[in-house]
Amino acid sequence: MKILVTGGSGYIGSHTCVELIDQGYEPIIVDNLCNSKEVVTDRIKEISGKRPKFYLGDIRNQTILEKIFNENEIDSVIHFAGLKAVGESVTKPLEYYDNNIYGSLVLLKAMKKANVKKIIFSSSATVYGTQPIIPYVETMQTGEPTQPYGRSKLFIEKILQDLFKAEKNWSITLLRYFNPVGAHSSGLIGEDPQGIPNNLMPYITQVAIGKRPSLAVFGNDYNTPDGTCVRDYIHVMDLAKGHVAALNNNNANNIQIFNLGSGKGTSVLEVISAFETVFGKKLPWHFAPRREGDLPAYWANADKAKQIMGWQTKLQLEDMVKDSWNWQRNNPQGFV
């Protein structure tokens, strides 16, 4: 069965392609390579034995999408393509709204035209905004994300909900990821941020490899057990399996929302400590002021995904740091 994977050469998309192939699906990638490299498809082949068909193209280009739908009998779409840097979205709101929202609209229109009505969308825990209660559960009202990136995810969720209200023959799954980290255990694919990493794990591995001198831990006076922020880290291979579970889930004529997280909160200092155990030495790090916009603590209630899709995380923090480090060590310059 052919699955169109938008943004399939990116971090989560590439791991999902491996899992799709492993489960007998045929992923077809469309990616404009604004944040990834085509060599990823070679690596996917090295891992899984099959190279996904690759279309170089932008999802805002209707002609390309129509060509893809005409040339391939696509069953479903997994929609990863988008811009994802929270801080950058504050300085480039128009680019983020254009890419993420307009891109999703063009994709949905092309799907409708091709009569492909099953979509799995990469949403984010950011749509919860600030909630009075932790863990976050899907029945909570969404909040008010404070930046264009988060708003773009919330708007796309609303667009998909409105689409379903109007046309009940769609099958729509909104997956709200918590904090994806880790890499495929082969060390052949992983997260390859351009420039200075925004996220904790790639920053840690770049310090470990000697690319950056020291990790700044943002804030030590939060109301958390050790004063640093608490998040729900999820191994990218567990996340990839969550997409296949969503594909296998009987969701015809329905819209469903799932949190994809481990259900467990981990502090920044706990991540560093787990990393140091695998690394075998101390990591240079220092406390720095709080980063604007960071929430003190949140994690997922992931019971719904377990009950309905039979999915739950299997990999632990130890696997996440080990695989992140293995990827970085084997690819000091990322994909070259």
**Catalytically active residues, by annotation:** 149
- Interacting positions 68-87 with ligand NAD (CB under 6 A): 80-84
CA 51 to chain centre: 21
Query: CB within 8 A of 3, min separation 6: which ones?
Result: 20, 25, 26, 27, 28, 74, 75, 76, 77, 78, 247
- Based on the shown chain and the rule CB under 6 A, indicate whether residue 58 belongs to the binding site for ligand NAD: yes
Contact flags string 20-49 toward ligand NAD, x per CB under 6 A: -----------xxxxxx-------------
Query: With binding defined as CB under 6 A, does residue 147 bind ligand NAD?
Result: no
Residue at shortest CB range from ligand NAD: 10
Q: How far apart are alpha carbons 130 and 242 in whole angstroms?
A: 25
Q: Which is nearer to ligand WQD, 119 or 229 (CB)?
A: 229
What is the closest distance, in whole angstroms, from the C-beta atom of residue 178 to ligand WQD in the complex?
A: 7
Per CB under 6 A, residues contacting ligand WQD are 84, 86, 124, 126, 179, 198-200, 203, 215-218, 229, 231, 268, 291, 294
Provide the mask over 116-135, with x wherever binding to ligand NAD is found by CB under 6 A and - wherever it is not.
------x-x-----------
Binds 12: which of ligand WQD, ligand NAD, none (CB < 5-8 Å by kind): ligand NAD
Could you tell which of ligand NAD, ligand WQD, none binds residue 103, using a CB distance below 5 to 8 A set by kind?
A: ligand NAD
Phi and psi dihedrals of 264, rounded to 5?
A: -130, 135
Which of positions 168-197 make contact with ligand NAD (CB under 6 A)? 177, 180
DSSP 293: T
Instruction: Give the helix/strand (H/E) hosting 155.
Output: helix 148-166
* Ramachandran class of 205: left when φ > 0, alpha when ψ lies in -120 to 50, beta otherwise: alpha
Which of ligand WQD, ligand NAD, none binds 203 (CB below 5-8 Å, type-dependent)?
ligand WQD
Distance CA 51, CA 209 (A): 30
Direct distance between the N- and C-terminal alpha carbons of the chain, in angstroms, rounded to an integer: 31
Q: Which does 218 bind (CB under 5 to 8 A by kind): ligand NAD, ligand WQD, none?
A: ligand WQD
Which of 312, 291, 281, 134 lies closest to 219, judged by CA?
A: 291
- Which of 59, 127, 188, 271 is close enough to bind ligand NAD by CB under 6 A? 59
Buried b (16+ CB within 10 A) or exposed e, 189-204: bbbbbeeebeebbbbb
Binds 229, which of ligand NAD, ligand WQD, none (CB < 5 to 8 A, cut-off by type)?
ligand WQD
Q: How far is the CB of 287 from ligand WQD (least distance, A)?
A: 9
| Binds ligand NAD by CB under 6 A, chosen from 41, 48, 76, 99 | 99
**Helix (H), strand (E) counts: the chain:** 12, 13
Q: How far is the CB of 177 from ligand WQD (least distance, A)?
A: 6
CA distance 216 to 191: 20
Strand, helix or coil for residue 100: helix
Q: How far is the CB of 83 from ligand NAD (least distance, A)?
A: 6
Decide: 16 and 42 in contact? Cβ < 8 Å: no
- Contacting residues toward ligand NAD, per CB under 6 A: 7, 9-13, 31-36, 58-60, 80-84, 99, 103, 122, 124, 177, 180
